[in-house]
Structure 1
């Protein structure tokens, strides 16, 4: 399979973080986006685990893309992703056991995250190792950011805290993230599933409004002046 022309690194990062954001643009991985985002800490932990799988799976798929035939590449990609998820599952169980217990089954379900197989099939199989690694990083960071933002909003309005128990779940080095709003007991609805869908809806509307505003500004901007020619 011949490589397509590699896109610019900056465009790949921009698309992963914003233009093709896994949650806010493609609306993929809704199960973890709604289930584990009861706090910013949970969202951050799930996002980091998924990012690790995205980066390494993109690298491996890019490395074997000329070896695996098109007839069997999807099963091969699934096996690669499943093996990586198994490693991540064991690493979290060994070194971040509290986070492992909180995320539970959703760690194993990273295997069926459409974004991971989608990036392997749509990007890594067509591009080199470096650009594929950058794409995995960008998509992972975009996914992590989305889960963390949803979790922080739900946690703040639902419990009056930010990154609650970060030091216990992620390690002592994350203790500086923990904050609590004095005198606020929280609204339970925001922690429950309806609150998650409400937060997601408002964030989607906000992103869409920003994109429409940017499009209007770009349309209203005067065209660049033509450079004078020199005879």
Structure 2
């Protein structure tokens, strides 16, 4: 149980692929003009992570070290192709919106990195869970950045939800404030860089504050040990 808790903490916060490892920044910055775009790409990436981690873990004993990277890339490419075809069939408008960044999931270093660093060394269940939490951590950053940019840029939230969830989501769009002209800085790529920088700064600030709070407790424990030993 402690191992799974550690994997959860690593994937969602401490070793988040986007905020800490700074992997997958190209699609992260390119498609997060809206929350739905970020959610769509995040779900696709998560499914590829889970599938590729399971497969890599299953074949890890039969793949020689000399060819493991090409084999891992082929496995990832196969899952990306499946996800791409499914999105083309069932979420065509979102497929068009994400465009080239769906097949480019193959080149996402977060996926090949987890296959090499974790899935190739662990059993299928831990590998699947690692793919899930790493994908969720990446998806949360995509959604958060997309939501911030959508609100600042157009004053809306969940715009285009029907492209992912179908006709049931036609009325899910929230208009927080009306604007005649969108805030282009938030919508265009420079806004993505600024938003990503603010998210990383916020995480670093939270980590620093948590570390300061832990120091007095650790000092007390150390003093208690010294006293007990003396």
TM-score using structure 2 length: 0.92
Match of 1:85 in 2: 80
TM-score using structure 1 length: 0.91
Aligned length: 222
Name stretches of at least 5 consecutive residues in structure 1 with no aligned partner. 1-5
Residues 1:32 and 2:27 are matched in the alignment: yes
Match of 1:205 in 2: 201
Q: Deviations over 1:165-189 (max 9, x none)?
A: 1123332354564211133444111
Q: Give how far 1:7 is off.
A: 7.1
Q: Deviations over 1:23-58 (max 9, x none)?
A: 101111111011000000000000000000000100
Residues 1:126 and 2:121 are matched in the alignment: yes
Residues 1:114 and 2:109 are matched in the alignment: yes
C-alpha RMSD over aligned residues: 1.8
Name stretches of at least 5 consecutive residues in structure 2 with no aligned partner. none
Match of 2:212 in 1: 216
Match of 1:162 in 2: 157
Match of 2:183 in 1: 187
CA contact (8 A) 1:99 1:170 kept: no
Query: Any runs of at least 4 consecutive aligned residues in structure 1 with deviations exceeding 6 A, and if so which?
Result: none
In structure 2, relative to structure 1, the CA distance for the partners of 1:24 and 1:173 (3 Å cut) is: farther
Q: Deviations over 1:176-213 (max 9, x none)?
A: 64211133444111001111101011111000000000
Match of 1:3 in 2: none
Match of 1:51 in 2: 46
CA contact (8 A) 1:59 1:129 kept: yes
Cα distance between partner residues in 2 of 1:176 and 1:208:
37
Q: Deviations over 1:90-118 (max 9, x none)?
A: 00000000110000100000000000000
Q: Deviations over 1:200-230 (max 9, x none)?
A: 111110000000000000112242977xx9x
Cα distance between partner residues in 2 of 1:188 and 1:23:
24
Cα distance between partner residues in 1 of 2:2 and 2:134:
15
Map 1:140-179 → 2, pairs under 5 A: 140-175=135-170, 177-179=172-174
Q: Give how far 1:163 is off.
A: 1.4
More helix by share: 2
